[in-house]
Amino acid sequence: MAESPSLSDLRAELDPATRAAVLVEALPYIQAFAGRTVVIKFGGNAMVDTALSHSFAADVVLLRAIGIRPVVVHGGGPQIGQLLNRLGKESEFRDGLRVTDAETLDVARMVLAGQVGREIVGAINRREPVAVGLSGEDAGLIVAAQRDEALGYVGDVVDVNRSILDTLLADEFIPVISTIGADESGQAYNINADTAAIAIAAALGAEKLVYLTDVPGVLTDVDDPGSLVSRLSATRVKLLIEDGVITGGMIPKVEACLDAVAAGVGSAHILDGRIPHVVLLELLTDAGVGTMITRMDGSGS
């Protein structure tokens, strides 16, 4: 992938009138979302491509600068798999979840908090020193319980202790959360980042939950990028699944969005993380570039 343009490159390409028009277009969104929380699940190509990672870091710093409160939640499945491979340990999956024994859990904790989380924090802090890395184990942030003995140390979110997040957000920091949780005995569990992001967004009363993925959004024709649906109600999503329009790997993505809006999140967005500055394009422009899912027709922003 070609390196994405820097913000200075983009500014150089725009004449003053166009720059002014961009700012005017963004103004109503800035006013509407100021003081609101946006949870972003960071994953896909955006996580492993250096240029896209820097683009993402610029986006969240800008969101903070205009008064929006971004919270970043991340996984790291491919990175965990790579380290396990180097250690000569095979990964086993059941229903899309990695079977996690004690050794795999140690690797997951090391990769998520020690590698992936630090890389995201570093990318943001190179822009402005405002990112704070957290594990779900820190301050009892994510309370977890074992999902299934057959999966080992794979957990579900039981509760989110939002106090540490409230403190960081009040002081205008950007939390970057690794999705390892722990039960009341202190036993750690590896938690699916998509579902952890829902629980965190719901606990914070987030305005939006944004999923960065490797797909453009919901397409009515998977072979036609022009068939992207920019906005869907929960009812419409369910009908598209029943009619076989939404199929395969897109189903769990939209179901995660349905769970989020059912839990009280204002809207959930599926965005293509391969597009530079995609978060800004979706949240601060009229057109948007992904699919936004709301509880009902006409709701959300």
Parallel, antiparallel or unpaired: strands 93-94 and 97-98: antiparallel
Q: How far apart are CA 141 and CA 135, in angstroms?
A: 8
Cβ atoms 240, 218 nearer than 8 A: yes
Six-digit token pair at 127?
A: 């822009």
Angle, vertex CA 175, rays to CA 170 and CA 177, nearest 5: 145
Catalytic residue of the set 77, 136, 217, 266? 77
Catalytic, 194? Answer yes
Catalytic residue among 117, 133, 181, 253: 253
Task: Give catalytic status of residue 77 as yes or no.
Answer: yes
Are 173 and 132 contacting, i.e. CB atoms less than 8 angstroms apart? yes
Report the half-sphere exposure of 180 (CA within 13 A, side-chain side).
Answer: 28
Q: Which of 41, 76, 273, 290 is catalytic?
A: 41
Catalytic residue status for 41: yes
> Is 208 annotated in the active site?
no
133 given a catalytic annotation: no
Q: Let me know: does 4 contact 276? Beta carbons within 8 Å.
A: yes
- Point out the catalytic residue in the list 43, 44, 75, 133: 44
Q: 108 near 136, Cβ under 8 Å?
A: no
Q: Which of 49, 194, 259, 272 is catalytic?
A: 194
Q: Which residues are catalytic?
A: 41, 44, 77, 194, 253
